[in-house]
Structure 1
Amino acid sequence: MNSLEAAVFNVEPESVLSEVDHNKPVQHRVRHTLSFKGKVINFYQKGNSINKCALEFKIDRRIISRWIKKESRIINTKLKRQRFAVTSERNMAMYPVMENQLSNWIYEKRNQGCCITANSIRSKAIELFTTIYKNTDESVTDFQCSNGWFYNFLKRKNFALRRITTSGRELPKNSISIIKNFFADCQKITNEPDFRPEKLINVDEKSIYLDFPTNSTYDCKGAKRVKATTCGGEKARISAAFTASSAGEKLPIFILVPRKTDLPNYTPPENVVIVYKESATFDENTVCSYLRKILGTHKELTDLRNIHLVIDSARCHLTSKVNKEFVDLGIEPLFVPPRMTNLLQPADVCWFAVIKKMYHQRWNEWFINEPRTFTRFGNAKSPGYAKCIQWLSDIWKEFNPELISNSFAYCGILNQFNLHSALSHILKNNTIINDFIEDLDESDEIADHFSTDERIVFFERTSNVEVTNSSPYLPSTSSPTPTIPSTNSSPSLPSTSSSTPTIPSTNSSPSLPSTSSPTPTITTWSLSVNNENNLGFSVISQYQTNSQAITSAQTTSTSLINSKKKGRPRLSPEEKERRAEERRNIKRSKN
């Protein structure tokens, strides 16, 4: 043992501990959150030096200097949770060119509203890899597009699998001009000398399902299945039309119950009008019944000379029969432009979300607290039509009248000073919100309980390929017009009477591009309805036929649809019965 080793082994432990300074703080690294770093940067931006920042926050000046260099990344990082560092800018990709192009492709398709799946990303990645690295050293590499590469790519490019929140068609290209024209029509009404808020009324239809649980629930963390038990009535529904004025006055609910017979021993609430209809769908006859029972009665009780009705552009609202009912009752319709109800209709924008939430709450309370009743097969019964109607009656009574009156201002009908956020953004920035589209769920509900009766339209032959742009609410003609093949088996219509004039084509309307090929021939049809009381909507459709010209001057769309689908005209009930009797006679003769 040398002298150094002897000196080390001979040291007493007490002497070593006595030389340690116990008052000196223990050195350790401190992690600062991004919010704290933002405070330091904000203090520096107020004109303070780096040294003063270091003294103020007791941090080394070199650390503050690094934070200042990363200022934009620190401030712009979204703080959904507590974070300590920004994402590294170092590109860890093995094939950065391919990944950049793949990322740009995803952004491009998402801006178009396309749904991107994992398989589409993988196939596009292999396609880009083959194209980019075809004649390079990387071409010898067998790019497998593995799960590891895929999830790391998503992490590097900040992509994640997201649930679709809104689906539907895009807004028209000329949405801004359509909205401004609608506001101009609203101002004409509100500027009338005898205008009162009680005269301005909005109505909209809504489907109400008997079983209507919420889409979310509290459950244990990590549960693999989150089940919601119902009574099996998710598809059973009633159709309800909610009506209210801009003064906040609520009119009775018009409810269609899908029954042939009345509910036994049932008296509806005082603020509900019930109509029993087997299909519970709104067609022109049902709309006329609504106008007489709800608006006609309200007009008589309030002694209003006329009513301005804000209503959407559903086909059953645009028929000549409904227009005649408008005229007879002294109702002046103001049609919300097509595909604009989620922007301009008060009921869609403000009412239905609250009504749906309150209905969810009542259904959940009933399902949790009230005793179950069962069928003879042991299945739980749904609430039933009577209870659902009572819930809607109570909800409509409790509905805030102030919200109703404000909804007309939010949609720009009363004035344009307090628009809702989406509408205000579109008009202030003079641009269409790319991710704001017509809600598919809502449009599907409307389409389901609206009749698809094609007799509401009239087709007339025109000599020129022109678009009659008489209505300011038509979508832009720059969008492609779908072509529907027609057949020669369509029967002709007699000429329309003078009570339903058609909208003539104007020379100022932009013309559609003509086709150069001689066959098939192009025939243009003008879709027209009665133009009284702002009911003029005209659409041009192109129909391709064979080389033989269509000899009939006018064709019913019902026969057109049936001939397109089945290849023959629709049979009358008498003809069907006659053919069935012939088949029965043939069977008897064989036996």
Structure 2
Amino acid sequence: MIINKAKLIAVEKGIQNFTSSPSWCYRFMKRSGLAMRTKTKIAQKMPKEYEEKILSFHKFVIDARKKNQFELSQIGNMDEVPLTFDVPSNRTVDHKGAKTITVKTSGYEKIHYTLVLSCCADGTKLPPMLIFKRKTFPKEAILRGVVVHVHDKGWMDEKGMRLWIEKVWSKRPGGLLKKPSLLVLDQFRAHITDTTKKNFREVKTHLAVIPSGLTSQLQPLDVSTNKPFKVFMREEWNKWMAAGNHDLTPTGKIKRPTITQVCDSVKDEIIVHSFKKCGISNTLDGTEDDMLYENTGTSTSSDESPVSDCEDLSFLDSDSSDEEFLGFS
């Protein structure tokens, strides 16, 4: 937010050649007595007994690929992400020692819904699906390229899966031709009911169901895609909130930016890499197996220092905590 706001002020003041670099931001925070305030996060280690489940999953995928010769464009992953209509960070910049910290929001941060993301191993991003927590469809105009479903709890159900198969999965490149395909899913109940399995068989789709507790290792959307997606979402929200002068709804809440801006921000190569990192689309001759063991890296930050590492100020524009709800319209 500091960098984005500084850029706006520079434009307003007519300041030429202003460089809002990480080092400038570090010095500014130090001069102003500002610090990043954040919650701590405890990492969890994968139990050793899960290794056999991972090997079994990889064997299933490899055997299915050898038997059916799936094209990369026909290997996909789908996942639901719980969100809110606002993305207020749980971190902000304030004076050291401040007891009350206020974060600017649009007023939608407590309204939840579900976003269904899906992509293919060749980098193709499929249209998003929104599941609203309500019994009737919203009267507002729906954005082009977005599929909408309603559920009294805002969750995916059998009806929603049938809609997703019909409106999203079956309309992927090659879907109308019913090319043999492989879809990676977690064990959420609606994904694996007998009715859902029957619907997938009708479109010649084989299911690779991730063992319980291993989505962080075997789900492409979890491993490499959701993090940059959340970062882009946070960046768009920060820029939008910093710009000011937003239109208001009749109830006085700020109108929000659109979902498609963020979905389009995730690069194709990130998606391609995520499938290989999970061992789903690697070459069958074993030459890409080393990608399974690449370290995705982690980062931490101090509560009281301006920055924990002056070379990495990415947290100033994003908050990729997996524990909080994120969202956009």
- Do the structures match in fold with TM over 0.5? yes
Which residue number corresponds to residue 87 of structure 2? 212
Which residue number corresponds to residue 256 of structure 1? 131
Q: Distance in 2 between matches of 1:295 and 1:333?
A: 13
Q: Does 1:381 align with 2:253?
A: yes
User: TM-score by structure 1 length?
Assistant: 0.40
> Alignment partner for residue 274 of structure 1, among 106, 125, 148?
148
Q: Distance in 1 between matches of 2:57 and 2:322?
A: 22
Instruction: Name the structure with the higher helix share.
Output: 1
Which residue number corresponds to residue 221 of structure 2? 347
Residues 396, 163 of structure 1: CA spacing in aligned structure 2 closer, same or farther, 3 A cutoff? closer
1:300: Cα distance to partner? 5.8
User: TM-score by structure 2 length?
Assistant: 0.69
Q: How does 1:497-508 map to 2 (within 5 A)?
A: none
Segments of 5+ residues of structure 1 without an aligned counterpart are 1-161, 425-440, 446-591
1:380: Cα distance to partner? 4.7
Q: Distance in 2 between matches of 1:242 and 1:408?
A: 14
CA shift digits 1:235-285 (9 cap, x unpaired): 212211111110111111111123444444514123x21223343211222
Q: Distance in 1 between matches of 2:296 and 2:239?
A: 36
Q: With a CA cutoff of 8 Å and minimum separation of 6, indicate the structure with the bigger relative contact order.
A: 2
Which residue number corresponds to residue 272 of structure 2? 405
CA shift digits 1:544-577 (9 cap, x unpaired): xxxxxxxxxxxxxxxxxxxxxxxxxxxxxxxxxx
Aligned AA for 1:185?
A: F
Q: Distance in 1 between matches of 2:147 and 2:206?
A: 23
Q: Does 1:202 align with 2:77?
A: yes
Which residue number corresponds to residue 429 of structure 1? none
Residues 418, 363 of structure 1: CA spacing in aligned structure 2 closer, same or farther, 3 A cutoff? same
> Alignment partner for residue 330 of structure 1, among 204, 210, 216?
204
Q: How many pairs are equivalent?
A: 259
The answer (yes or no) to whether the contact 1:372–1:381 under 8 Å persists in 2 is no
Which residue number corresponds to residue 292 of structure 2? 419
1:289: Cα distance to partner? 1.8
Q: Distance in 2 between matches of 1:230 and 1:420?
A: 40
The answer (yes or no) to whether the contact 1:232–1:382 under 8 Å persists in 2 is yes
Q: Distance in 1 between matches of 2:63 and 2:95?
A: 57
CA shift digits 1:67-112 (9 cap, x unpaired): xxxxxxxxxxxxxxxxxxxxxxxxxxxxxxxxxxxxxxxxxxxxxx
The answer (yes or no) to whether the contact 1:411–1:420 under 8 Å persists in 2 is no
Q: Distance in 2 between matches of 1:320 and 1:444?
A: 33
Q: How does 1:98-497 map to 2 (within 5 A)?
A: 164-166=40-42, 171-192=46-67, 194-264=69-139, 266-270=141-145, 272-298=146-172, 303-372=177-246, 380-383=252-255, 387=256, 390=258, 392-415=259-282, 416-421=289-294
Q: Distance in 1 between matches of 2:243 and 2:116?
A: 29
Higher Cα Rg, which structure:
1
Identity %: 24
Segments of 5+ residues of structure 2 without an aligned counterpart are 1-37, 283-288, 298-320
Secondary structure in structure 2 of the residue aligned to 1:186: helix
RMSD of aligned Cα (Å): 3.0
Instruction: Name the structure with the higher strand share.
Output: 2
Residues 264, 370 of structure 1: CA spacing in aligned structure 2 closer, same or farther, 3 A cutoff? farther
1:348: Cα distance to partner? 0.6
Secondary structure in structure 2 of the residue aligned to 1:419: helix
The answer (yes or no) to whether the contact 2:84–2:109 under 8 Å persists in 1 is yes
Q: Distance in 2 between matches of 1:417 and 1:260?
A: 48
Secondary structure in structure 1 of the residue aligned to 2:197: helix
Secondary structure in structure 2 of the residue aligned to 1:288: helix
The answer (yes or no) to whether the contact 1:308–1:333 under 8 Å persists in 2 is yes
Q: Distance in 1 between matches of 2:233 and 2:296?
A: 27
The answer (yes or no) to whether the contact 1:208–1:237 under 8 Å persists in 2 is yes
Q: Distance in 2 between matches of 1:370 and 1:164?
A: 31
Q: How does 1:14-93 map to 2 (within 5 A)?
A: none
Q: Distance in 1 between matches of 2:201 and 2:179?
A: 12
1:370: Cα distance to partner? 3.2
Residues 444, 176 of structure 1: CA spacing in aligned structure 2 closer, same or farther, 3 A cutoff? farther
The answer (yes or no) to whether the contact 2:75–2:183 under 8 Å persists in 1 is yes
